[in-house]
């Protein structure tokens, strides 16, 4: 087992990882930029190392500084959390050079899954269903036209190196194709330094359903059930639940088997998520996230697991504690991402000082938060400040608890997504479990 783990992240996920370390009897090291001197998470670590300049490239994305902090404190492992360096294969390379264990997958798995064209090609080979589309980059308009015609409109043009919902555009007719192609290529080049785009069929009202997987370094791979993440804005998740309201034992078995196949094919060796789009009884591989995800707590609750601890134990070389048959999904859990954003002003970030704060509690409530009363949310980073998770025996119980918990949650001084979540939870279609990835757009009127 590790003695000391450095957490190369900030906010709620840093606290989440430090809690797991403490339960495993491991010491933890926090790193913090100048903008995070007063951040809550630094109190949860055994040691703190300053990184200086708050800009991400000078702090949480700076591999050299992170590695030096680990060497300086004698940390034997690094946990990257999500975002920042979590899917940067270079971190693993530098860790290995310095005799530090990275708590995460091997670099080649990150690379294979980080490129959408490569990952789709591999998954097709593995026998995992993929969305119909090109298997290589598309460059010129004539080629794009032929492909789009063959697939049938609508199609979507996507950046192969894309992520975070950036660099994709749906195209409904040929007239829009040239502009969409050029636009996606230039966004891709600007954001990811690679202009390669590809074309696939655009599903109009799919559900986003994903499977948590755990794979150890000794070849044991299981799935830990599903999550429904269709409540999104600009392809970014806002509210997630486990299990999906449409999940059946039979569907879970089928999709779960595909998720395991996907992970096994690339010899995956950590916690990861296989994302699918689901449409009319069919499902298709979308991408694999080679990290722990924001929404992991809902899975922990309905399967009685601790995914961060499992991830750490896997990195220690231990065998998985569970076999597939040990994973039983029971009850229902919902997560609302509480962002310091103004839902009435197009979700514009709204950092600032929290002048009033009371957290919710009581039965079935879990709050993973990185903030406190009088804390000033820095402007440099992600606007998510906490994750409110509720659970119950049924979806209805979890929903009613979430309504109650949201009404107890008081955050003054900054605008948050709390009113948005309250509106979602009042919506008839949401309550009926009738979800798809355009839900938020379609129901915008009553949210505004
Ligand atoms: P990223 O890596 O940027 O997160 P993904 O490929 O995971 O991009 O897609 C994110 C979201 O975009 C999906 O959850 C879905 O809402 C939408 N999307 C992606 N591909 C398609 C498609 N072929 N048809 C319909 N929606 C899609």
So what's the pLDDT on residue 246?
98
CA of 39 to the centre of ligand 1 (A): 33
So what's the pLDDT on residue 443?
84
- Distance, in Å, from the CA atom of 64 to the CA atom of 228, rounded to the nearest integer, reads 37
The token duo for 179 is 């502009």
- Which ligand 1 atom sits closest to the C-alpha of 116? 6
77-79 vs 101-102, strand pairing mode: parallel
pLDDT band at 446 (very low <50, low <70, confident <90, very high): low
CA of 173 to the centre of ligand 1 (A): 19
pLDDT of residue 260 exceeding 70, the answer is yes
- Distance, in Å, from the CA atom of 26 to the CA atom of 104, rounded to the nearest integer, reads 17
What contacts 50, CB < 8 A, 6 or more positions away?
Answer: 31, 32, 33, 34, 37
Task: Name the closest-CA residue to atom 22, ligand 1.
Answer: 202
Residue of 83, 148, 168 to mutate, ligand 1, most atoms within 8 A of C-beta: 168
What contacts 419, CB < 8 A, 6 or more positions away?
Answer: 343, 344
The one catalytic residue in 10, 227, 291, 366 is 291
What are the pLDDT digits (tens) for 86-133?
A: 999 999 999 999 999 999 999 999 999 999 999 999 999 999 999 999
DSSP state of 325: G
Distances (CA, A) of 375 to 41, 210, 302, 408: 12, 34, 32, 19
Phi, psi dihedrals of residue 123, rounded to the nearest 5°: -65, -35
Taking alpha carbons only, the member of 183, 188, 186 closest to residue 170 is: 183
In 280-318, which positions are buried (b, 16+ CB within 10 angstroms) versus exposed (e)? Answer: eeebbbbbbbbbbbbbbbbbbbbbebbbbbbbbbbbbee
Q: To 5 degrees, how large is the angle CA 338–CA 344–CA 348?
A: 65
So what's the pLDDT on residue 447?
59
Q: Check if the interface score ipTM surpasses 0.95.
A: yes
CA of 184 to the centre of ligand 1 (A): 14
Task: Yes or no: say if 117 and 137 are a contact pair by the CB < 8 Å rule.
Answer: yes
The reply to whether 254 belongs to the active site is no
pLDDT of residue 181 exceeding 90, the answer is yes
Residue of 117, 165, 205, 285 to mutate, ligand 1, most atoms within 8 A of C-beta: 165
Please give all residues whose beta carbon lies within 6 A of any atom in ligand 1, as ranges: 131, 156, 162-166, 200-203, 206, 208, 232, 235, 275, 277, 286-287, 437
pLDDT band at 234 (very low <50, low <70, confident <90, very high): confident
pLDDT of residue 396 exceeding 70, the answer is yes
Average pLDDT over residues 40-44: 98
Task: Yes or no: say if 288 and 113 are a contact pair by the CB < 8 Å rule.
Answer: yes
- Which ligand 1 atom sits closest to the C-alpha of 164? 3
- Distance, in Å, from the CA atom of 209 to the CA atom of 57, rounded to the nearest integer, reads 33
Residue of 244, 277, 294, 295 to mutate, ligand 1, most atoms within 8 A of C-beta: 277
- Which ligand 1 atom sits closest to the C-alpha of 438? 16
CA of 273 to the centre of ligand 1 (A): 14
Task: Tell me which residue has tokens 């992240």.
Answer: 9
What are the pLDDT digits (tens) for 272-325?
A: 999 999 999 999 999 999 999 999 999 999 999 999 999 999 999 999 999 999
pLDDT band at 235 (very low <50, low <70, confident <90, very high): confident
Residue of 231, 235, 236, 276 to mutate, ligand 1, most atoms within 8 A of C-beta: 235
CA of 204 to the centre of ligand 1 (A): 11
Task: Name the closest-CA residue to atom 8, ligand 1.
Answer: 165
CA of 162 to the centre of ligand 1 (A): 10
Task: Name the closest-CA residue to atom 25, ligand 1.
Answer: 203
Taking alpha carbons only, the member of 31, 34, 24, 8 closest to residue 380 is: 34
Task: Name the closest-CA residue to atom 1, ligand 1.
Answer: 163
Q: Which helix (H) or strand (E) holds 15?
A: helix 11-23
Q: To 5 degrees, how large is the angle CA 200–CA 203–CA 204?
A: 140
- Distance, in Å, from the CA atom of 150 to the CA atom of 99, rounded to the nearest integer, reads 51
Q: Which helix (H) or strand (E) holds 237?
A: strand 236-242
Task: Name the closest-CA residue to atom 13, ligand 1.
Answer: 235
CA of 168 to the centre of ligand 1 (A): 8
* Burial category of 393 from C-beta neighbours within 10 Å (exposed 0-12, middle 13-18, buried 19 and up): exposed
What is the tally of helices (H) and strands (E) in the chain? 15, 20
DSSP state of 19: H
Task: Yes or no: say if 184 and 119 are a contact pair by the CB < 8 Å rule.
Answer: no
Average pLDDT value over all residues in the chain: 96
This prediction has a pTM of 0.96
């Amino acid at each position: 087992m590790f003695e000391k783990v450095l957490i190369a992240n900030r906010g709620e996920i840093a606290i989440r990882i430090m809690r797991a370390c403490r339960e495993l009897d491991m010491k933890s090291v926090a790193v913090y930029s100048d903008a995070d001197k007063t951040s809550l998470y630094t109190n949860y670590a055994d040691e703190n190392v300053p990184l200086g300049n708050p800009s991400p490239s000078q702090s949480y994305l700076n591999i050299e500084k992170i590695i030096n902090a680990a060497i300086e404190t004698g940390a034997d492992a690094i946990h990257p959390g999500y975002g920042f360096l979590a899917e940067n294969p270079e971190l693993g390379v530098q860790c290995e050079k310095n005799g530090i264990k990275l708590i995460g997958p091997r670099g080649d798995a990150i690379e294979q899954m980080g490129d959408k064209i490569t990952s789709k090609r591999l998954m097709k080979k593995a026998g995992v269903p993929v969305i119909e589309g090109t298997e290589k980059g598309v460059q010129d308009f004539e080629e794009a036209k032929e492909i789009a015609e063959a697939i049938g409109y609508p199609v979507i043009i996507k950046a192969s190196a894309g992520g975070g919902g950036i660099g994709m555009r749906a195209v409904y007719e040929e007239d829009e194709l040239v502009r969409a192609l050029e636009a996606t290529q230039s966004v891709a080049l600007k954001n990811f330094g690679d202009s390669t785009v590809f074309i696939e069929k655009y599903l109009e009202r799919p559900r986003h359903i994903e499977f948590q997987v755990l794979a150890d370094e000794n070849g044991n791979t299981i799935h830990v059930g599903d999550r429904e993440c269709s409540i999104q804005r600009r392809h970014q998740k806002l509210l997630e639940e486990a299990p999906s309201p449409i999940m059946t034992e039979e569907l879970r078995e089928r999709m779960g088997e595909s998720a395991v196949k996907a992970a096994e094919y690339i010899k995956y060796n950590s916690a990861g998520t296989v994302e699918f789009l689901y449409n009319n009884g069919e499902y298709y591989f979308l991408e694999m996230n080679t990290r722990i995800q924001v929404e992991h707590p809902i899975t922990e609750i309905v399967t009685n697991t601790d995914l961060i601890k499992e991830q750490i134990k896997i990195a220690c070389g231990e065998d998985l504690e569970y076999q597939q048959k040990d994973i039983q999904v029971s009850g229902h859990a919902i997560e609302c991402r509480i962002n310091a954003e103004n839902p009435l002003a197009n979700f514009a970030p709204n950092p600032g000082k929290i002048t009033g704060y009371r957290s919710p509690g009581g039965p079935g409530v879990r709050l993973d938060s990185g903030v406190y009363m009088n804390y000033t949310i820095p402007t440099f980073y992600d606007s998510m400040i906490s994750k409110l998770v509720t659970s119950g025996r049924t979806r209805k119980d979890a929903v009613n608890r979430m309504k109650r918990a949201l009404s107890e949650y008081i955050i003054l001084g900054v605008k948050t997504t709390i009113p948005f979540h309250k509106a979602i939870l009042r919506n008839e279609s949401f309550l009926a479990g009738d979800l798809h990835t355009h839900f938020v757009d379609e129901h915008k009127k009553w949210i505004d």
